[in-house]
Structure 1
Amino acid sequence: MHERLARIAKISEQELNLAEAALLIAVEEYPGLDIEAYLRQIDELATGVQERLPAQAGLEDTLVTLNQFLFVEQGFSGDVENYDDPRNSFLNEVLDRKRGIPITLSIIYMEVGRRLGLPLKGVSFPGHFLVKFSTREGEVVLDPFSGGSLLSKEDLEEILEETYGPAESVNAAPLERLLIAAGKKDILVRMLRNLKGAYLRREQFDKALTVVDRILVIQPDQPDEVRDRGRIYEQLECFRAALENYQSYLSLRPGSGDAQDVHKRIAELKQIVANLN
């Protein structure tokens, strides 16, 4: 699986099949996963929408039918009760349970939309992944976590307030900058970061470590992940590995804001490692 992920890292954004890559990430947790069967399930969802479309359906008709089919007939919805459940970050689980978090529901929404010819793009909006498409009048932003609802400027500002707090959200980047389309590899990494957070909150450090390794296969140039891997190794009492990762982090980001704290951890770990010899 590591080799297949490494291949994903090398292929172009255009060639990358987002759903297939997201399912490949789940193979570590579900070794017998039938990726082709789940891709067929997405094909079937698109067929279900297509069969309900009027002749010569425009963009608006297709979106309305897509929302009706996915969120009403099929019952896909945001998992508000168990948002932090790691299963919400695995595409196979979201397809099986019809529950997910914004990013996994958005991946399904975009992938079904792509099969219908909809030019949907993912948006790594702070605190809440979204989907958008462009029209002559401007960009339209949708929230698959809330049944594909259209979001106004006020709705987006409200999400920012919930994420940063009222004072900080005022200083956030302009909305146009926050609505830039995310690349497919960026989407995969954000999905993995959600999963990493869920595992860390459960103190499942071995699983969190595997997730960090996957992030660094897809996007090797991520110093924060190298630092986090050091922290996880510390929790697992793998002190030499923790030390190496902290040292790598500082070589990648020598002027980081937390450099002093990391130097302190390195000094303490050197002492621990010396005592192990």
Structure 2
Amino acid sequence: MTRDEAEKTLAAIGEQAEGRFPLLDAAIACSLHEDPTRDPEPARALAAEATRRLKARLERVESPEEALAETMAGDMRLAGDLITYDHPDNADILSVFERRKGLPVALGVIYLEIGRRCGLQVRGVDFPGHFLLRIETGEGPLALDPFSEGRVVLPSELTRRAYMAGLTSDVAERLEALMVPTDDRSVILRLQNNIYARAIQARDFARAERSAMRRALLDPADHRPWLDVATAREGLGALAGALEALARAQALDGGAAVAARAARERVRMRLN
């Protein structure tokens, strides 16, 4: 697959309705867009093996949360990368499959995909600062932390984390507010945002531009990814491309007009 082909795949995925959004396929397409030379089949084979193992555990009447955690962390050896947390591979799904470690949201993509293949009701939770999972059980919903080997996060711990993230008491003390599920598109966008933020911090503007472009393709109605594309292109010195991206942002959302217009004028001054 070439990078152009990956962009076409991402654009087609971006047009999918939320209920049909292909989570793992989207994550793999993002990885191939970053590096088109890789083979996604080993990752797909590992996903199939994880599915087989989880189905076998569930047939033994294990609880859904225990079966999912034991399969992903025990059988598949997936865990959070505590040593090199900011390594770019931790946000790349093909690398996560290969290394068996990654960021919470990247690991969460795999948990979500495998759990659903086996009929589990599991969704992402866009928790501030640390992505979590919500799984429905006979005793009600539970929060799982894919970064910590899928362990259950108790309500008291959720509240503590919420306060540490700066949430106010009217949110931090309400379990239902802390466990609101997010859609799959937002999960992939959060993953790409992680890549963008780290790339900008490292002044790797080429990588930043690619991650922002993926967000633009996966969420075609949102103007904000194009503002990030423009920022990255300006960092690369591609000023004409930055202007084009800013024009796309303005065309998508009149609310972006002020910010985009100011940025366009700044870039235009550099061109003159």
- In 2, are the aligned partners of 1:126 and 1:178 still within 8 Å (CA)? no
Q: Write out aligned runs for 1:1-277 (5 A).
A: 1-52=6-57, 55=60, 57-58=61-62, 60=63, 62-135=64-137, 137-164=139-166, 168-170=167-169, 172=171, 175-246=175-246, 248-249=248-249, 259=258, 264-273=262-271, 275=272
- In 1, are the aligned partners of 2:34 and 2:210 still within 8 Å (CA)? no
Query: TM-score normalized by structure 2?
Result: 0.85
Q: Distance in 2 between matches of 1:68 and 1:236?
A: 45
Q: Distance in 1 between matches of 2:191 and 2:90?
A: 10
The alpha carbon displacement at 1:70 in A equals 2.5
Q: Distance in 2 between matches of 1:148 and 1:188?
A: 19
- In 1, are the aligned partners of 2:222 and 2:253 still within 8 Å (CA)? no
SS at match of 1:159: helix
Residue type of the alignment partner of 1:198: R
Q: Identity, % of aligned pairs?
A: 27
Q: CA RMSD in A?
A: 2.6
Residue type of the alignment partner of 1:187: V
TM-aligned CA distance change 1:263 to 1:149, over 3 Å: same
Question: Structure 1, residues 195-231: CA drift from partner, whole Å, max 9, x if none?
Answer: 1112112111011111111111110222322222222
The alpha carbon displacement at 1:138 in A equals 3.0
Query: TM-score normalized by structure 1?
Result: 0.84
Mark the structure with the bigger radius of gyration.
1
Q: Distance in 2 between matches of 1:253 and 1:21?
A: 25
Q: Distance in 2 between matches of 1:22 and 1:207?
A: 16
TM-aligned CA distance change 1:69 to 1:134, over 3 Å: closer
SS at match of 2:180: coil
Unaligned residue ranges in structure 1 (runs of 5+): none
Question: Structure 1, residues 42-95: CA drift from partner, whole Å, max 9, x if none?
Answer: 11012233345564x15x1x4323322322343221111211111111111111
Q: Distance in 1 between matches of 2:122 and 2:215?
A: 24
TM-aligned CA distance change 1:97 to 1:240, over 3 Å: same
- In 2, are the aligned partners of 1:19 and 1:39 still within 8 Å (CA)? no
Residue type of the alignment partner of 2:10: L
Q: Distance in 2 between matches of 1:245 and 1:32?
A: 27
The alpha carbon displacement at 1:38 in A equals 1.7
The alpha carbon displacement at 1:142 in A equals 0.8
Q: Distance in 2 between matches of 1:207 and 1:144?
A: 26
- Between 1:78-87 and 1:65-74, the stretch displaced more is 65-74
- Between 1:5-14 and 1:189-198, the stretch displaced more is 5-14
